[in-house]
A and B are shown apart, each in its own frame.
Chain A
Amino acid sequence: RKEVEQDPGPFNVPEGATVAFNCTYSNSASQSFFWYRQDCRKEPKLLMSVYSSGNEDGRFTAQLNRASQYISLLIRDSKLSDSATYLCAVTLYGQNFVFGPGTRLSVLP
C-alpha cells in the first residue's frame, strides 16, 4: 500500500460547483498535513495546512480525520483559476515529507 494515496482524477466540474478531494495516508504516526497546488509546468505552492480541528481559508476548507487516516479539501464556488493539480503532503516529525500523486481539477466555463 502506498504511503499517501489520492484519486488522480481528472475532476471536471462547472464553474460555481463545489468539489471535494480526499487523501489517505498509511502511517498513523503522521503529524502534519498540507495541501499544495501545482499549476501545469510549475512548482507546487502551499495552499493550506490542515489542522486537527479543521480550517477554512475563503472558499477552501481542509479537514483531518485521524481515525480513518484521511484529509480532505473542499472547494466551494469553484473558479476557472482553481484548475490545477492538488497534492496532499504528510510528514512524520516535521521531516520525511511524503506527497500524494495529486488530483487534477479542471473547472469548466
Chain B
Amino acid sequence: GAGVSQSPSNKVTEKGKDVELRCDPISGHTALYWYRQSLGQGLEFLIYFQGNSAPDKSGLPSDRFSAERTGGSVSTLTIQRTQQEDSAVYLCASSPGGEPQQYFGPGTRLTVT
C-alpha cells in the first residue's frame, strides 16, 4: 500500500516568510510524528499526535512552530517568520495503533535564505 507522503519535497523560502509542510500518513495509522534533521545530525523530535488525544508538543523549538492534524489523518507543520537556523529536513512518520514502530515519509527539505 501507499507509504507516508510529504509535500513539498523541497522548499526554498526567504527569511521571515511563513511555510506550511504537509504530511499524509499511512491510512489507518493513528499516531503521527514530526521530526527535524539538520545536515549530519540525528532526528530531533518536534511533535506527536495520537488519535484524538492532545498532541505532545514538547519538542517544538519555539512558538513560531505549530502543527495540526485534521480528521485524524493529514497533518500540517507551520513555521512562522522562518529563520536560517530552521533550514533542515522535516520528516513525518506514522505508526499503527498497538505497534510502536514508525514508518517515515521522504521528508521536506527546507532552505531558508
Where the two chains meet, the residues of A that have a C-beta atom closer than 8 Å to any C-beta of B are 31-32, 34, 42-46, 49, 87, 89, 91, 94-102
Q: Is the CB of B42 within 8 A of A101?
A: yes
B43 touches which of A44, A45, A94, A96 (Cβ 8 Å) = A44
With contacts A49-B101, A94-B100, A95-B56 known, is A43 near B91, CB below 8 A? yes
With contacts A32-B100, A34-B101, A46-B101 known, is A97 near B45, CB below 8 A? yes
- Is chain A's interface secondary structure helix, strand, loop, or mixed overall? strand
Name the B residues within 8 Å of A99 (CB-CB).
Answer: 35, 42-43, 45
How many pairs of A and B residues are in contact by the CB < 8 Å rule? 46
6 A-B residue contacts at CB 8 Å? A31-B100, A43-B91, A43-B105, A87-B43, A95-B50, A97-B33
Where the two chains meet, the residues of B that have a C-beta atom closer than 8 Å to any C-beta of A are 31, 33, 35, 41-43, 45, 48, 50, 56, 91, 98, 100-107
Q: Which residue from chain B places its CB closest to the CB of A6 in the assembled complex? A: B42
Name the A residues within 8 Å of B102 (CB-CB).
Answer: 46, 89, 97
CA distance A69 to B12 in the complex (A): 42
CA distance A43 to B31 in the complex (A): 18
A43 touches which of B41, B100, B104 (Cβ 8 Å) = B104
Q: Which residue from chain B places its CB closest to the CB of A4 in the assembled complex? A: B42
With contacts A87-B43, A97-B33 known, is A46 near B48, CB below 8 A? no
With contacts A43-B91, A44-B43, A102-B42 known, is A96 near B104, CB below 8 A? no
Name the A residues within 8 Å of B106 (CB-CB).
Answer: 42-43
CA distance A31 to B101 in the complex (A): 12
B104 touches which of A34, A44, A95, A102 (Cβ 8 Å) = A44
Name the B residues within 8 Å of A34 (CB-CB).
Answer: 100-101
CA distance A95 to B97 in the complex (A): 11
